[in-house]
Amino acid sequence: MYRRVRFNMPDSDIHAAAHCERVLLYALILGADIFGADGDVLDILVHASIFHDTRRQDEYLDTGHGARAAVYYEQFCQDNNDIEFHPESVFLMRYHDLDDAMGKEAIQKYFGTETDRVLNLYAIFKNGVETDRNLRVLETENIGQIDICGLAGDVCVADTIRDGIALKLPQKINVLMDYTSSIDGGKTLNSIISKNKLSCIR
């Protein structure tokens, strides 16, 4: 990436190579978790992560930079025949700056029986991008505590906590047990809290 891929805004603190590197890491963690060691899947995520913000012209609202990145990626693959071209990567980056519904509709139209697989990849990739943004907010705003509560303690709340632990944030997590209901009566949450020594309020 550093040797061959060119960024429109290489000096950007927010969206240049370091951001793409982190998105790459998060997307691979999520991809390997969901698909296992599927080389093709991981390659698709690698390409989308590396190229998705290469054609930004503006640090903030820059709708269309995903489409420009997709054009650059296609051209890059034509010019470098040692890089395998993945149409899935095109859709992931093309729609990463647009509404999910637009991305999903386009994927459904193009991929036929492969639709579910590509929709999963699209969700993983967008999560990778958002994870990096959220982590940057925690860092730049100097946020020391994340209070977590919700309606399904043993499902989405537990998954959110697991994500936080995977991102090495357990010291920031504070579980609001009084504001969280669980189908299993709190068994899953209590086990995660004690196993990871998380802060919680009951």
- Is residue 53 part of the contact set for Fe ion (CB under 5 A)? yes
Pair 44, 32: CB distance under 8 Å? no
Least Å from the CB of residue 96 to Fe ion: 6
Q: What is the chain's length?
A: 202
Spell out where 69-172 has E strands: 146-148
Choose the stretch contacting Fe ion; rule: CB under 5 A; options: 46-54, 118-126, 156-164, 170-178. 46-54
Token readout for 70 is 């997709």
Q: Which of 155, 100, 157 is nearest to 124 (CA)?
A: 100
Return the range that interacts with Fe ion (CB under 5 A); candidates 52-60, 79-87, 140-148, 152-160: 52-60
CB of 53 or CB of 88, closer to Fe ion: 53
Which of 50, 189 has the CB closer to Fe ion?
50
> Are residues 49 and 24 in contact, defined by beta-carbon separation less than 8 angstroms?
yes
| Residue with Cβ nearer Fe ion (123 or 177) | 123
Cβ at position 50, least distance to Fe ion in Å: 12
Number of residues that bind Fe ion (CB under 5 A): 1
Is 132 a binder of Fe ion (CB under 5 A)? no
Q: Supply φ then ψ for residue 174, to 5 degrees.
A: -130, 115
> Per DSSP, which regions of the chain are E strands?
146-148, 173-176, 199-201
The residue at minimum Cβ distance from Fe ion is 53
Task: Name the site residues for Fe ion (rule: CB under 5 A).
Answer: 53
